[in-house]
Amino acid sequence: MAKVSALSLNSKKRKGKKITMVTAYDFPSAAHVARAGIDIILVGDSVAMVELGHETTQNVSLDSMIHHCQSVKNGIELADSGSMLIGDMPFGTYEFNDTDIALRNAYRFVKEAGCDAVKLEYRALTAQKIIEGGVAVMGHVGLTPQAISVIGGFRAQGRTAVRARQLLDEALRLQDAGCFSIVLECVPANVAAAITETLEIPTIGIGAGGGTSGQVLVFHDMLGMLSHPHHQQFVPKFCKKYAEVGHSIQEGLNQFKSEVESGVFPGDAYSPYVMSEGEKETFD
Ligand code: KIV
Ligand code: NA
């Protein structure tokens, strides 16, 4: 698959072809996503929730994000895919008035992990600074989980005419700043469609209906990674489950435990090593 770029994504939007994006956090997940030919692989700060088990996206460090991006890069290379790799800038690494800090942190994603772009929530001025520094930026408006303590909860945004207008204005500011694409998270479908039609750059929706230029889902949510009964409540209602990976994992582990305890495993079939004649002699 040819290398996905800001230009190729824009051409998809103009031709009415949908863009696909999925998160990945490590080597095997990235290899699978890349092999599926997904256009964009996002190392989301959702890693804090789905990989590290925290309740919000707020507690993941820049070093951790870089670490995850490095392993995802290896997965993309294994699959020999042209997928674009985007690193999510974590909470507390780009919000300061001193946008030099944001630029310096953005460089780390490119130089230490080989990312093609970074993503950040709102903040057109910061996006512009990073873009001027030579790093491509994907914007993100609507529900912006890093602001969870301000928003008050994981809930839809842009549900009044005034709020919808504000979302459009913010998206336009990000476009003017030079962002190549924008994520629209948890906004009404008609609002997302209107923003998509107004913007020239492609929009990627999550919980934003079918009128966006593409769709993104979180790997663990879409594949049913965590089948623990106490976790089901966290899979958002807009997320379709395309697999039940967690059930397969649990079944495999349950079966391993029972086979070891009953003596079925390893058995002769999985006991491949035999002593050579010479070794037998020295052993005696
Ligand atoms: O962190 C993440 O997974 C994201 C996507 C939901 C867009 O930001
Ligand atoms: Na994110």
Domain boundaries, the chain: 6-243, 249-283
Q: Are 199 and 182 in contact (CB under 8 A)?
A: yes
The per-residue b/e assignment along 69-104, b for 16 or more CB within 10 angstroms, e otherwise, is bbbbbebbeebebebbbbbbbbbebbbeeebebbbe
The reported pLDDT for the residue numbered 280 is 62
38, 40, 45, 234, best to mutate for ligand 1 pocket (most atoms within 8 Å of CB): 45
Residue 89 has pLDDT above 80, yes or no: yes
Q: Are 211 and 184 in contact (CB under 8 A)?
A: no
**Residue recorded with tokens 């930026």:** 137
| Distance between CA atoms of residues 14 and 84, nearest Å | 19
Distance (Å) from CA 11 to ligand 1 centroid: 23
Q: What does the block give as tokens for 25?
A: 């956090």
Centre of ligand 2 from the C-alpha of residue 180, in Å: 17
Tens of pLDDT, residues 141-179: 999 999 999 998 888 999 999 999 999 999 999 999 999
Which ligand is located closest to the Cα atom of residue 183? 1
Section 262-271 average pLDDT: 98
* Spacing of C-alpha 208 from chain mean position: 16
Any idea which ligand is nearest the CA of 217? 1
pLDDT of residue 227: 80
Residue 216 alpha carbon, nearest atom of ligand 1: 7
- pLDDT reported for residue 277: 75
What are the Cα distances from residue 216, in Å, to 21, 43, 148, 192, 263?
A: 5, 12, 20, 14, 45
Question: Topology of domain 6-243, per CATH?
Answer: TIM Barrel (3.20.20)
What is the residue whose two structure tokens read 């990674």?
Answer: 225
pLDDT band at 276, cuts 50/70/90?
confident
Residues belonging to the active site? 185
Q: Looking at residue 281, what is its pLDDT?
A: 61
Give distance in angstroms: CA of 260 to centre of ligand 2. 41
Q: What is the pLDDT of residues 106-134, one digit of tens each?
A: 999 999 999 999 999 999 999 999 999 99
Asked if residue 236 has a cis previous peptide bond (ω within 30° of 0), the answer is no
Task: List, chain by chain if needed, residues with CB within 6 Å of any ligand 1 atom.
Answer: 23, 42, 44-46, 88, 183, 206, 216, 218
ipTM associated with this complex: 0.99
Query: Which residue is closest in CA terms to ligand 1's atom 4?
Result: 44
